[in-house]
Chain A
Amino acid sequence: MTLKLHSNKTINIFSALTDTALDLPIITEGISAGFPSPALDFVDLTIDLNKHLIKHPSATFYGRVKGSSLKNAGIDDGDLLIIDRSLEPTNGKIAICYIDGEFTAKRISVKKNELWLMPENDSYKPIKIEKENDFLIWGIVTHVIKSF
């Protein structure tokens, strides 16, 4: 918020705007009058994982995994899932589905007009979606974050 501090016919003085920040790469070369460092041309911006992992912030939600039916896809109990609702559910994608009262993640498989939810763990069976199931596809898993 800028505030008018002083004003007369010739000049208006405002307070400085200080409530936002802009991060700039720090240049540690010092200032010298000689030959500039060639490395300065290659200063990178910082890596912001938000930008790389989240393409549609307004449509992105997080979920916590419980269970091991997607073990072979690299999704384990306790992992954090990044879910993007804006993406279309297509064959082979890992989707967050709502079925009969709970959220679940499974790989989607469409075979001859049949919709199957495929596990990635031999101890689990594929689920065929029938008309009587209370079912909806809620979002698409784009990334999984694990902590070691």
Chain B
Amino acid sequence: MFALVDCNNFYASCERVFRPDLKGKPIVVLSNNDGCVIARSNEAKEIGIPMGAPAFEYEQHFTKHNVQVFSANFALYGDMSQRVMNVLSDYSPEIEFYSIDEAFLKLTGFEYFNLQEYGNEIRYKVHKWTGIPISVGIAPTKALSKLANRIAKKYPDITKGVYIIDNEEKRIKALKWLKVEDIWGIGRQHAKKLKAIDVNTAYDFTKLDDSWVKKNLAIVGLRLKRDLQGIPTLDLEEIQSKKNIATTRSFETNYTKLEQLQERISTFAVSCAEKLRQQNSCCNSVMVFIHTNGHRNDLPQYSRNIVIQLPFPTNSNIELVKFGKMALEKIFKKGYHYKKAGVIVQDFTPEDIQQLMLFENRDERHISLMQAVDKLNKSYGQQKIRLGSQDLRRVWKMKQEKLSPRYTTKLSDIITIHC
């Protein structure tokens, strides 16, 4: 058996732990630079604020409905996430931290426990210890536990936040309830393809021919089908390492010069390279995009992206910056006011498996150089060692007008107790 534990509206819940007065009130959390909505409390969802809503467009809506608006406080969310994960680690020897607010627990050997009670206890303890409400889905496979979790979250009154799929009747009922586009791991393109052949629910999907699934959704799709049929196929960590890493930002002002964008792209590429090294991966391709402000109808609009295949896999700052800038130069056009840019690295291979190329190979000296850079940046603070193409004076000024205190990570920000 597997359990999937998912924190309810995680970012909004983190804010609420230290602001109990916000219970039952709509909360939204904005992305870096206060650009758009990245998290909503249930109340905010109910009054029709969509995910990704641009903050400035919804300003009046926020005021009208008395919505509490927060700038993203990632120091707080990261710390609270760690607390939740630590508590969960007491409940299974095998755990996969799937995202900042989700974890899979392998419950092999727990079949003789009362799983309903076990789920209730996990839920009670996480909430009691950390203040974060969670939902628990328990089922024989990972994909089904994800589905059970969805049901627990969708019907909190009936399930009390814990739902178990432990027989065929429940499994079939749940599969018939789940729309094909909501299946874990089925992307928008595949969902479209499936709907075209009249596959509308997860149940329909499990009735498809193995050969059709394999041909159209590859082996990953076939594994998913087995998992949904209740045959344990996906194990912990199998879909763990990220498929791509992105660093993208809106600028506080518009940029018009190539040099300005080069500096940003360099910084974003370095950030991607650092994240790649953290998970011991190299990337084989880099995508760079730039675009103008779509909300400024008075200005000419331009938006482009480009993917370049790298001659060899890498996670070196120097090499990724070089390729990032190369890509930027191909798509940059003069005469536009750029508002946003980003670097996305994809197509990963493990760091320790390197295929030797005939003509060009990664510079092996970069490996130890990057280790040194990471170590220095770790001990002397973020970004002390930078590349020449990154602006040394520039300290990234993020617009964070509604930032809550760092209650758990900064001594001067801890809660005040009135005595």
Give A residues with C-beta under 8 Å from B.
1, 3-4, 19, 56-59, 61-70, 75, 77, 80-81, 85-86, 96, 98, 101-106, 134, 136, 138
Q: Report A-chain residues with C-beta under 8 Å of the C-beta of B419.
A: 65-70, 75, 77, 104-106
* Contact residue among A4, A64, A86, A101 (Cβ-Cβ distance under 8 Å from B417): A64
The answer to whether A59 touches B20 (Cβ under 8 A) is no
Specify which of B20, B87, B280, B371 lies most central, judged by the most chain A CB atoms within 10 Å of its CB: B20
B128 at interface, CB cutoff 8 A: yes
Q: Report B-chain residues with C-beta under 8 Å of the C-beta of A98.
A: 20-21
* Contact residue among B21, B83, B367, B375 (Cβ-Cβ distance under 8 Å from A58): B83
B411 at interface, CB cutoff 8 A: yes
- Complex CA–CA separation, A102 to B408 (angstroms): 18
Q: A75-B419, A85-B130, A86-B129 are in contact. Are A4 and B414 (CB under 8 A)?
A: no
- Complex CA–CA separation, A19 to B379 (angstroms): 11
A-B contact count (CB 8 A): 76
The answer to whether B128 touches A81 (Cβ under 8 A) is no
- Which residues 179-237 of B have a CB within 8 angstroms of A? none
The answer to whether A105 touches B417 (Cβ under 8 A) is yes
Q: How far is the CB of A124 from chain B (nearest CB, A)?
A: 9
The answer to whether A103 touches B418 (Cβ under 8 A) is yes
B415 at interface, CB cutoff 8 A: yes
Q: How far is the CB of A146 from chain B (nearest CB, A)?
A: 14
14 contacts between A and B (CB under 8 A): A1-B371, A56-B129, A58-B83, A58-B86, A59-B83, A62-B415, A64-B416, A77-B419, A80-B414, A81-B417, A96-B417, A103-B418, A104-B417, A105-B419
The answer to whether A58 touches B417 (Cβ under 8 A) is no
Specify which of B82, B280, B417 lies most central, judged by the most chain A CB atoms within 10 Å of its CB: B417
Q: Report B-chain residues with C-beta under 8 Å of the C-beta of A134.
A: 21
The answer to whether B86 touches A62 (Cβ under 8 A) is no
